[in-house]
């Protein structure tokens, strides 16, 4: 079992074991996740989506499932710089977290797809990921009695691409993580954050104005931006590959910072392993790409302020999702 997964379990157990550990109520139970009119959420649909999410039969060689790149123990990332698909092929990009994906206005690093239903098809047919063909896959899954019966019962139709994508999307929308210490603090619990975390939040929001791109409550603006990680973006030029618009070179969707403590490595290509590296990149003003976002400018922090900023970022960690799986 992966060491980080064991660490997360350890954190949950330890926090529940000590009287001195403040137990915060689960705010996720009161969160309403939006859904499209053609895919209302219900428990049966979520259950079917969960089975499909963990089913390796969705890949061409039966070795890769959605969960291979979006592991629960890694906050639904995989802990790798870039993900591994069938035949040990490497993808170009880091696996983003699926937690709170139901709130996203755009999905994928290119910020070009509007719904989780559209996104679900992409990795299944991507040659270096799951490498399957929907025309071949759907009859195979329809031949699975459990899936065919569920499709008839829940959707009143044979198992098809509609059932596959709507079910997986419904499961992903159930992955809510909005009960971090920061959430309790914002809702009025002054004791939910310590002094360093509060100071870090003040730095983040008022002095550095990181909220321009990482706006609460989701800590993303859902847009593709060039954060100046490289002066030359090489083969992967970001959103440019979608529309071939030169203004999009180096633009990647701004990721959520929620659970950032456990979703390393960072950036679209996993090129930064620590939060310290990320802060160093931004405080240095970026690499100076000619399309770099103008909001990225150099700044200085004392060692104490860096620790405070990181303390705040870690206050966005919510492990309660582990107990609901």
Do 316 and 263 meet the contact criterion of CB atoms below 8 Å apart? no
Q: How many angstroms separate the CA atoms of 17 and 38, rounded?
A: 44
Catalytic entry in 129, 172, 197, 305: 129
Q: How many angstroms separate the CA atoms of 177 and 219, rounded?
A: 12
Q: Which residue has the tokens 């047919």?
A: 125
Do 98 and 73 meet the contact criterion of CB atoms below 8 Å apart? no
Q: Which are the contacts of 52, defined by CB distance < 8 A and separation ≥ 6?
A: 58, 66, 141, 147, 164, 167, 168, 171
Helix, strand or coil, per DSSP, at residue 161: helix
197 is catalytic: no
Q: How many angstroms separate the CA atoms of 163 and 44, rounded?
A: 12
From first CA to last CA, the distance across the chain in angstroms is 17
Do 238 and 224 meet the contact criterion of CB atoms below 8 Å apart? yes
Catalytic (active-site) positions: 129
């Amino acid at each position: 079992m992966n060491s980080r997964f064991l660490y997360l379990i350890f954190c949950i157990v330890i926090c529940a074991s000590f009287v001195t550990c403040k137990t915060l109520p689960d705010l996720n139970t009161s969160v309403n996740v939006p859904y499209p009119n053609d895919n209302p959420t219900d428990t049966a649909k979520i259950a079917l989506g969960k089975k499909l999410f963990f089913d390796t039969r969705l890949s061409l060689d039966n070795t890769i499932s959605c969960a291979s790149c979006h592991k629960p123990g890694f906050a639904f990332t995989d802990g790798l710089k870039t993900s591994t698909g069938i035949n040990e092929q490497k993808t170009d990009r880091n696996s983003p977290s699926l937690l709170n994906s139901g709130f996203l206005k755009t999905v994928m690093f290119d910020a070009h797809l509007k719904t989780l239903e559209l996104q679900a098809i992409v990795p299944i047919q991507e040659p270096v990921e799951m490498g399957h063909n929907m025309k071949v896959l759907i009859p195979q899954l329809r031949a699975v009695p459990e899936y065919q019966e569920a499709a008839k019962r829940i959707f009143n139709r044979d198992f098809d691409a509609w059932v596959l994508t709507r079910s997986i999307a419904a499961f992903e929308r159930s992955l809510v993580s909005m009960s971090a210490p920061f959430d309790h603090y914002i809702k009025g619990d002054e004791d939910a954050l310590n002094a360093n975390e509060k100071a870090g939040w003040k730095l983040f929001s008022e002095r550095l104005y990181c909220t321009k791109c990482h706006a609460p409550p989701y800590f993303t603006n859902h847009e593709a931006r060039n954060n100046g990680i490289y002066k030359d973006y090489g083969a992967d030029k970001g959103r440019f590959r979608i529309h071939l618009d030169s203004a999009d070179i180096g633009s990647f969707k701004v990721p959520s910072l929620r659970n950032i403590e456990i979703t390393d490595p960072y950036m679209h290509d996993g090129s930064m392993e620590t939060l310290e590296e990320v802060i160093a990149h931004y405080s240095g003003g970026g690499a100076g790409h000619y399309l770099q976002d103008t909001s990225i400018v150099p700044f200085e922090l004392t060692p104490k302020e860096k620790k405070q900023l990181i303390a705040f970022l870690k206050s966005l960690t919510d492990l309660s999702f582990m107990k609901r799986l």
